[in-house]
Amino acid sequence: MRIETLEELAERIKKVSDVTILTHARPDGDTIGAGFGLCYYLRSVGVRANIKNSDGFPQKFGYLFEGYSDMDFEEKCVISVDVADKKLLGDELSGYADRIDLCIDHHISNRMFAKESYVDGESCATCLILYKLLRIMGAKPSRLIADCLYTGIATDTGCFMYENTSPDAHRAAADLKEFGAKAAEINREMFQIKSKGRILAEQKVIGSMKFFGDSRIALITITNDIIDSYNVDRADLDGFAAIPLTVEGVEIGITLKQQADDPKKFKASVRTVTADASAIAANFDGGGHVRAAGCTLSGTAEDAAEAIAKAAEKYL
């Protein structure tokens, strides 16, 4: 059943007790911020609540859960936050897949897997939904809750840089700073600091950037060699795909990632300014969105680069 308004959602939240909050696997700032934000809010009004994740919470977000510990109770209500599909709960939490009471999410693609769902596909972050919810309920976020909600809004908008940043997102950030969110520290942690290995691996990858189609296509290759020599976590390679499009004049950016288990296989990520990325990926049985898509190529790094660059040139 779909919950249509924030007011209805507020009424629903007022009735919960003994809550388990679920966040999505490979958690990001929005699911973590929304999960802990909701958990701390519920505890502040006397509702027992715990939060769970299949993969654990990365230490990078430690400032949100330093003082957290699980409470002891028998759960009566399960709420998922920022989870678009029950598959995204991950292995550890898969047992919850068909018994989620309430889903709060901002993905337009939400599969409506919960008994009740509040989905606002227009919202740039689940944390923004939660902020509005708390205000409607008359709650004054604590400093820690403000940190949680600021984290989700900032990370899902690329620090207010992306197209999805709504006026509401800026206004929520303004309020959250007034409620004590330590925004500058959070931004430094989220957007500026990188591990030494990561920064050196980036440098190596950028140094080998190749250009095609009159420099309107840029391609980088992340080899197993680079990942191993700089000791970079494979789960932490997502940001690389944005690099090629940062070069002036580049309209199609391609990132090839050599596969650990098969060095003759490369996962390609295609990002575009105006061209249809999913059409480019479809040349190699891949797919995705108009501005971001993916596919897999076989052969040497050189073969893979040549093949996808040649295909991409047709879309310039």
Q: Footprint of a copy of itself on this chain (CB under 8 A)?
A: 159-163, 165-171, 173-175, 177-178, 183-184, 187-188, 191-196, 199-200, 202-204, 206-207, 209, 211, 215, 245-249
Nearest distance, CB of residue 72 and a copy of itself, angstroms: 36
Closest to a copy of itself by CB, 74 or 163: 163
Looking at the Cβ atoms of 166 and 296, the one nearer to a copy of itself is 166
Q: Residue 198: count other Cβ atoms within 10 Å of its Cβ.
A: 18
Tell me how far, at minimum, the Cβ of 159 lies from a copy of itself, in Å: 5
- Identity of the residue, 146 or 281, whose beta carbon is nearer to a copy of itself in the bound complex: 146
Nearest distance from C-beta of residue 245 to a copy of itself, angstroms: 8
Sequence letter at residue 74: E
CB 164 within 8 A of CB 124: yes
Least separation, in Å, of the C-beta of 169 and a copy of itself? 8
d(CA 41, CA 283): 48
- Smallest separation, CB 55 to a copy of itself (Å): 21
Residues 249, 239: contact at Cβ < 8 Å? no
The one-character DSSP state at 2 is B
Number of residues that this document lists for the chain: 316
Could you tell me the two tokens for 154?
């900032």
- Closer by beta carbon to a copy of itself, 101 or else 189: 189
Nearest partner of 112 among 8, 12, 9, 1, judged by Cα: 1
* In the complex, minimum distance from the CB of residue 97 to a copy of itself, in angstroms, rounded to a whole number: 36
CB of 231 to a copy of itself, least distance (A): 13
Question: Nearest-CA neighbor of 14 among 29, 3, 22, 23?
Answer: 3
Q: Measured from the CB atom, is 35 or 141 closer to a copy of itself?
A: 141
List the one residue out of 259, 295, 262, 267 whose CA is nearest residue 280. Answer: 295
End-to-end CA distance of the chain: 44
Largest CA distance in the chain: 63
Between 135 and 204, CB nearer to a copy of itself: 204
Nearer to a copy of itself, 66 or 163 (CB): 163
Q: How far apart are CA 16 and CA 49, in angstroms?
A: 10
Helix (H) or strand (E) holding 128: helix 126-136
